[in-house]
Amino acid sequence: MKKLNKEDILAASKTNPYTGDYVKVGISTCGVAAGAQDTLNVFEEETKRLGIKVDIRRCGCIGMCYAEPLVEVSAAGLPKVTYGKVDKNVALEIIQEHLAHGRLVDDYIFDMPMNR
Amino acid sequence: MSKQTIFLLRDTSLTQDNTRDFQILFLKIARDLGVEDSIQAVRASDLGIYDKGYVVKDLNNKITYANIQETDIEKFLKATIKGEGSVDEFKYTADKCQLRIVLRNCGLIDPENIEEYMAQQGYCALAKALTEMTPETVIDEMKKSGLRGRGGAGFPTWMKWSFARNSLDETRFVVCNADEGDPGAYMDRSILEGDPHAVVEGMILAGFAIGAQRGFFYIRAEYPLAIKRIETAIEQAYERGLLGNDILGSGFNFDLEIRLGAGAFVCGEETALIESIEGKRGTPRPRPPFPADKGLWNHPTIINNVETLATVAQIINRGGEWLAAIGTEKSKGTKVFAITGKVKNSGLVEIPMGMTLGEVVFGIAGGVLGGRKLMAVQTGGPSGGVIPLKLIDTKVSYEHLAEVGSIMGSGGLIVMDEDDCMVDIPRFYLRFCVEESCGKCAPCRIGGFQMLKILDRIAEGKGVEADLQQLQRIAKGMQKASLCALGQTAPNPVLSTMKYFPEEYRQHVEDKKCRAGKCTKMVQYTIDQTHCKKCKLCVVNCPVGAISGSREAGYVVDQVKCIKCGTCYEVCKFKAIVRK
Ligand SMILES: Cc1cc2nc3c(=O)[nH]c(=O)nc-3n(C[C@H](O)[C@H](O)[C@H](O)COP(=O)(O)O)c2cc1C
Whether residues B42 and B158 share a domain: the answer is no
Q: B307 and B164, same structural domain?
A: yes
With respect to residue A116, please indicate whether it lies within any of the assigned structural domains: no
Q: Which amino acid is at B80?
A: T
Name the average pLDDT for chain B.
94
Instruction: Assess whether B306 and B183 both reside in one domain.
Output: yes
Regarding whether B196 and B53 lie in a shared domain, the answer is no
Q: Which residue, B471, B474, B354, is CA-closest to B423? A: B471
Looking at residue B555, which CATH number applies to its domain? 3.30.70.20
**Count of CB pairs separated by less than 8 Å, A with B:** 177
Residues paired with B57 in a beta bridge: B8, B64
Does residue B191 sit in the same domain as residue B297? yes
In this structure, is residue B495 part of a structural domain?
Answer: yes
Q: Which of A6, A81, A112 sits opposite B131 (nearest CB)?
A: A6
Torsion angle, alpha carbons of A88, A92, A94, A100, to 10: 160
Contact call for residues B179 and B268 (beta carbons, < 8 A): yes
Please determine, for residue B163, whether its predicted confidence score (pLDDT) is greater than 70.
yes
On whether both B183 and B279 belong to a single domain, the answer is yes
Q: How far is CA B153 from the centre of its chain?
A: 16
- Domain with residue B121: its CATH number is 3.40.50.11540
Question: Quick one: which H or E segment has residue B267?
Answer: none
- Say yes or no: B404 and B282 in one domain: no
CA nearest to A116 within chain B: B100
Sheet of A55-59: strand order equals: A55-59, A22-26, A71-74, A81-83, A109-110, B39-46, B5-11, B54-58, B63-65
Q: Looking at the 3D structure of chain B, how many domains does it have?
A: 5
Whose CA is closest to B347, among A114, A55, A102? A114
Q: Is residue A46 part of a domain?
A: yes
Examine residue B347 and state whether it is found in any structural domain, yes or no: yes
The answer to whether residue B206 is domain-embedded is yes
Residue B488: strand, helix, or coil = helix
User: A63–B115: do the CB atoms touch at under 8 Å?
Assistant: no
User: Would you tell me which residues 27-86 of chain A have a C-beta closer than 8 angstroms to some C-beta of chain B?
Assistant: 28-30, 32, 57-67, 70, 72, 77-79, 81, 84-85
Contact A110 B45 (CB under 8 A): yes
The contacts of residue A40 (CB under 8 Å, 6+ apart) are A25, A27, A56, A58
The Cα–Cα gap between B41 and B71 comes to: 17
CATH number of domain containing B387: 3.10.20.600
Query: What are the tens digits of pLDDT across the range B107-140?
Result: 999 999 999 999 999 999 999 999 999 999 999 9
B453-505: per-residue pLDDT in tens? 999 999 999 999 999 999 999 999 999 999 999 999 999 999 999 999 999 99
Assign residue A46 the CATH number of its domain: 3.40.30.10
Q: Clarify whether residues B499 and B555 are in a common domain.
A: no
Q: How far is the CA of B261 from the centre of ligand 1 (A)?
A: 14
Same structural domain, B408 and B528: no
Q: Select the residue from A68, A74, A104 to test the B interface by mutation, using most B Cβ atoms within 10 A.
A: A104
A60: nearest CA partner in chain B: B194
Structural domain boundaries, residue A105? 6-111
**What length is written for chain B?**
580
A15, A81, A116: residue with CB nearest B119: A15
Residue A56 corresponds to which amino acid? Answer: I
Q: Ligand 1 atom 9: the closest Cα is on which residue?
A: B180
Which residues in chain B are contacts of A60 at CB distance < 8 A? 105-107, 109, 111, 190, 193-195
Counting residues of chain B whose pLDDT is more than 70, the rounded percentage is 100
Q: Is residue B530 part of a domain?
A: yes
Q: Give me the torsion for CA of B201, B205, B211, B216, rounded to 10°.
A: -30
Q: Determine the pLDDT at residue B417.
A: 95
pLDDT at B2 over 70: no
Q: Mean pLDDT across the stretch A54-62? A: 94
Instruction: State yes or no: pLDDT of B245 exceeds 90.
Output: yes
Query: Is residue B107 assigned to a domain?
Result: no
The mean per-residue pLDDT over the stretch B141-170 comes to 96
Q: How far is B186 from chain A (nearest CA, A)?
A: 10
B103 occurs within a structural domain: no
Judge: B106–A114 Cβ closer than 8 Å, yes or no. Answer: no
End residue of a domain, out of B391, B417, B443: B417
pLDDT tens for residues B523-540?
A: 899 999 999 999 999 999
pLDDT of residue B16: 82
Cis before A69? omega within 30: yes
**Among residues B324, B355, B371, which one ends one of the domains?**
B324
Residues B128 and B236 in one domain: yes
Return the SS3 of B356.
strand
Residues of B with Cβ-Cβ distance to A66 under 8 angstroms: 344-347
Check residue B502 and give its pLDDT.
96
Do both B289 and B215 map to the same domain? yes
> Which atom, in ligand 1's list, is nearest to the CA of B177?
11
Question: How far is B83 from B91, CA to CA, in rounded Å?
Answer: 16
Does B508 have pLDDT greater than 50? yes
Nearest-CA distance from B131 to chain A in Å? 8
3-class DSSP state of B512 = coil
Distance in Å, alpha carbon of B200 to nearest chain A alpha carbon:
15
Q: Is residue A1 part of a domain?
A: no
Give tens-digit pLDDT for B22-68: 999 999 999 999 999 999 999 999 998 988 999 999 999 899 999 99
Q: Is the pLDDT of residue B233 over 60?
A: yes
pLDDT at B269: 96
Q: How far is the CA of B276 from the centre of ligand 1 (A)?
A: 14
Query: How many folded domains does chain A comprise?
Result: 1
d(C-alpha B100, C-alpha A62), whole Å? 10
- B212 in a domain, yes or no? yes
Question: Which residues' Cβ are closer than 6 Å to ligand 1?
Answer: B 149-153, 155, 177, 179-181, 265-266, 268-270, 303-305, 308, 410, 484-486
Please report which confidence band the pLDDT of residue B1 belongs to, taking 50, 70 and 90 as the band edges: very low
Indicate if B213 and B276 belong to the same structural domain: yes
Q: Which range of residues forms the domain containing residue B134?
A: 114-324
Residue A32 forms part of a structural domain: yes
User: Would B105 be classed as within a structural domain?
Assistant: no
List the one residue out of B420, B419, B421, B482 whose CA is nearest residue B451. B482
Handedness of CA A8, A10, A11, A14 (dihedral sign): positive
The answer to the question of residue A83 being in a domain is yes
- Cα–Cα distance, A98 to A91 (Å, whole number): 10
Q: Average pLDDT over chain A, rounded to whole?
A: 94
**Model pLDDT, residue B560:** 93
Instruction: Extract the runs of DSSP E, i.e. beta strands, from B284-434.
Output: 301-305, 334-341, 347-352, 374-379, 385-388, 412-417
* Closest ligand 1 atom to B157 CA: 25
- Residue where one domain finishes, among candidates B370, B399, B417: B417
Degrees (nearest 5) of the Cα angle A16, A20, A22?
100
Query: Ligand 1, atom 20: nearest CA belongs to which residue?
Result: B151
